[in-house]
């Protein structure tokens, strides 16, 4: 089968997110870094967070070299509610309450049969992927509600959350929970003009997915089925995040957008 080629265009500056403050968790690499960069190029101020301060600062420096003053860095462990609370308070005091929250920080610690999952890996995966998303959302949404301000929550889920996930069962369960949370909060927060949507990528070339992208057999299983015949690069997810963060999607909430090169269409 002839493989479809990835067409990469040179990014252009815009003001689609002018005056918006965007917080991207897990923003130090992969999809998070791509989303943070794309949002800055669309006119937003971006706060990049992840566990390691130096990693956040590296991404912020890269963005600021192109767009001075657009990016800020702050370390935060996405699995620790107290750390999240302290971070959001720092944001409010220093930059203001984010207009847009992109929940992207995630982990995938175990690859193997679901019944063999070690308890510690189960707990850690849910701590980061579900509790972390919920706590960041709660911290931001309650402040937006108190201020009677609109806002946007974007949850990075996965196609594994909407289908069986052999050998990635716990990860798939957490992403199913994220999809459910997205839909519930969209209903509960909609009348306050806070929109909640999810992006569900397929296989993307990130460090989190190295266990898959580094295995030729697993890659072939994916690319043979995907309509485009390849897996994605992080920047190919970022454009949808910018759209969902912008006023162009003002009537969009409670939706899960699949980006998988046509994998689930077959």
In a domain, 83, yes or no: yes
Q: Domain tally for the chain?
A: 1
> Which one of 110, 133, 171, 231 is the catalytic residue?
171
In a domain, 2, yes or no: no
Domain extent, residue 190, equals 21-265
In a domain, 12, yes or no: no
Local confidence pLDDT in tens for the 266 residues of the chain: 444 455 444 455 678 999 899 999 999 999 999 999 999 999 999 999 999 999 999 999 999 999 999 999 999 999 999 999 999 999 999 999 999 999 999 999 998 999 999 999 999 999 999 999 999 999 999 999 999 999 999 999 999 999 998 888 999 999 999 999 999 999 999 999 999 999 999 999 988 777 777 788 888 989 999 999 999 999 999 999 999 999 999 999 999 999 999 999 98
Known catalytic residue at 171: yes
Reported as type and span, the H/E element at residue 151 is strand 151-156
Beta partners for 102? 24, 154
- Model confidence, pTM: 0.93
CATH code at 95?
3.40.50.720
Alpha-carbon span 35 to 241, nearest angstrom: 7
In a domain, 72, yes or no: yes
In a domain, 1, yes or no: no
- 175 to 106, 130, 221: CA distances (angstroms): 10, 8, 21
pLDDT at 12: 55
Farthest-apart Cα atoms in the chain, separation: 55
pLDDT at 13: 62
Q: Which long-range contacts (CB under 8 A, 24 or more apart) does 110-113 make?
A: 110/170, 110/171, 111/167, 111/168, 111/211, 112/167, 113/167, 113/169
Alpha-carbon span 32 to 151, nearest angstrom: 19
What DSSP character marks residue 6? Answer: P
In a domain, 3, yes or no: no
Q: Is 178 exposed, middle or buried (0-12, 13-18, 19+ CB in 10 A)?
A: buried
In a domain, 107, yes or no: yes
């Amino acid at each position: 089968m002839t493989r479809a080629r990835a067409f990469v265009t040179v990014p252009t500056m815009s003001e689609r997110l002018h005056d918006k403050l965007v917080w991207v968790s897990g923003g130090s690499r992969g999809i998070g870094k791509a989303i943070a960069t794309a949002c800055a190029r669309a006119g937003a101020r971006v706060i990049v967070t992840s566990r390691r301060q130096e990693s956040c600062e590296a991404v912020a420096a890269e963005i600021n070299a192109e767009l001075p003053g657009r990016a800020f860095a702050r370390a935060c462990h996405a699995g620790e509610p107290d750390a999240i609370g302290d971070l959001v308070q720092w944001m409010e005091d220093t930059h203001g309450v984010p207009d847009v929250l992109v929940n992207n920080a995630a982990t995938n610690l175990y690859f193997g049969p679901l019944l063999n999952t070690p308890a510690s890996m189960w707990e850690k995966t849910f701590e980061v992927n579900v509790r972390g998303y919920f706590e960041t959302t709660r911290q931001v949404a309650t402040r937006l509600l108190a201020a009677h301000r609109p806002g946007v929550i974007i949850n990075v889920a996965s196609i594994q959350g909407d289908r069986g996930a052999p050998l990635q069962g716990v990860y798939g369960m957490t992403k199913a929970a994220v999809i459910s949370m997205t839909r519930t909060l969209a209903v509960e927060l909609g009348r306050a003009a806070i929109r909640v949507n999810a992006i569900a990528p397929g296989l993307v070339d990130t460090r989190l997915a190295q266990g898959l992208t580094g295995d030729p057999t697993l890659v072939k299983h994916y690319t043979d089925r995907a309509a485009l015949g390849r897996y994605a690069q992080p920047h190919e997810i970022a454009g949808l995040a910018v759209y969902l963060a912008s006023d162009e999607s003002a009537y969009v909430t409670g939706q899960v957008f699949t980006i998988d090169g046509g994998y689930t269409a077959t």
